Structures are given as C-alpha cells and as structure tokens.
C-alpha cells in the first residue's frame, strides 16, 4: 500500500509520525506521506518538523516516508504562494483539501488548487466536469478516499475521472491508528466507487508512479 495523505499530531492526527510509520510498516505499507493540515499560520513549524523526522525514519525504517502538507481551508486566491512556499521548505507532496461535502470548504478551491499545480486534490466532493478535465490536462491527481464522510462522493469522482482521463489515487486521510487500511481493503473501496478491477490496478499504479516522481533524487 502506498498512502500519500495522512495526518499526525502536528495537525489533527493523534499519533507521532514515528508511530504512524511503524503501524503502517506492520500492516505492509511500502510508502507513507505525512501531509498535516497547514495554512499561513503554521506552514513553517509543521513542515520543518516533518522534514526532520522523515530524514530519521528513512534512515532506519523499511517504509518510505515522504514529507508533505495538506493546504486546508485557504482562500482560493491565496493558494499559489502557499504551494510555492511549501515546496521551498521541503514538501515533496502538496495536497489540497478539496471541496468535500462534509466541511464548508470555500467554493473555487478545487479549481484554484488544480490551476496552481498541487500534486493531489483530496476528497474533491462534487467536483465539476470542467475541473476534472483541467486536472487531466495538468496532470493533477484526484483522490478516492477511504475516509468516512469524505468518501460519500467517491463514485462521482471516479466516474468523471474515468471519462476525462484524469489520474486517480487512493489514500486514507488517516488521523488515527484505525484509519490505515490494507491494500486489499483499499481495493474493495475502489471497487465500491464503481471502478472495474482493471481500473483498480491502474489506481495503484498511479500511486506508484506519483511516489517515484515525488521522491526522485
């Protein structure tokens, strides 16, 4: 399992990065990204600590851990500079907190995130067809999530992504020890979103491809 969207106690998760990585290792994960919630108030603090711990964990563990952020509840007009700053500070993966149905995310967030070139739009809710087409054109990945609530629109996201050729990844958005899932569980959730078995394999392949791209060098 490759999971490019998780949270630690540096935002609203409950585990230290080291414990989250260990728990992932035990259930067979190959790679894990720490993508704690950030805005302009905490970006530097969160990312400096995540980069530091990733260096240590990658030196001693079998799971590849990737430093990242999830830009969360930021005004669409303010996305660009924050994405750029996150990359400067060492974020190898930048996730946007998409327009999920279960939180009051500002309209226009999905499009703004895609336009500025985030890596993944997480739980994009009732994303529009033009936005999905833009994601396909820009190579921005859309998330099928295993997390309750956010997963209500998985079928909608999967259907539009398949039609437009937009790349999909499957992530857990883990906040606690019970949120991590096995590859088999993730596959069942992907099937439940309406994807055929062949498409499920492509989603896992997308995660592999994106991980390699993010960690080159």
> How many C-alpha atoms does 199 have within 13 Å on its Cβ side?
20
Check whether 217 has a pLDDT greater than 60.
Answer: no
Check whether 170 has a pLDDT greater than 90.
Answer: yes
11-40 per-position pLDDT tens digit? 999 999 999 999 999 999 999 999 999 999
Domains with residue ranges and CATH for the chain: 2-214 (3.20.20.140)
48-94 per-position pLDDT tens digit? 999 999 999 999 989 999 999 999 999 999 999 999 999 999 999 99
Burial of 30 (0-12, 13-18, 19+ CB in 10 A): middle
Report CA-CA distances (Å) from 110 to 25, 36, 170, 189, 200.
32, 18, 17, 23, 24
Task: Give the global pTM.
Answer: 0.97
Report CA-CA distances (Å) from 147 to 24, 81, 135, 194.
16, 29, 22, 17
Check whether 150 has a pLDDT greater than 80.
Answer: yes
């Amino acid at each position: 399992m490759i999971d490019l969207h998780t949270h630690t106690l540096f935002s609203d998760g409950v585990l230290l990065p080291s414990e989250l990585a260990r728990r992932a290792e035990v259930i067979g994960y190959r790679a894990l990204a720490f993508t704690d919630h950030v805005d302009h108030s905490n970006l530097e603090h969160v990312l400096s600590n995540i980069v530091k711990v990733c260096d240590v964990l990658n030196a001693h563990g079998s799971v590849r851990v990737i430093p990242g952020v999830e830009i969360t509840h930021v005004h669409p007009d303010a996305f660009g500079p924050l994405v750029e700053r996150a990359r400067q500070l060492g974020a190898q993966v930048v996730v946007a907190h998409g327009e999920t149905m279960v939180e009051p995310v500002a309209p226009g967030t999905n499009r703004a995130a895609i336009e500025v070139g985030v890596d993944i739009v997480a739980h994009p809710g009732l994303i529009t067809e033009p936005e999905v087409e833009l994601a396909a054109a820009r190579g921005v990945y859309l998330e099928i999530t295993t997390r309750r609530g956010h997963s209500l629109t998985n079928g909608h996201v999967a259907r539009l992504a398949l039609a437009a050729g937009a790349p999909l990844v499957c992530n857990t958005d883990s906040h606690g020890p019970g949120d991590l899932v096995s590859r088999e569980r993730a596959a069942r959730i992907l099937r439940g979103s309406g994807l055929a078995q062949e498409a499920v394999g492509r989603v896992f392949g997308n995660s592999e491809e994106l991980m390699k791209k993010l960690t080159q060098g």
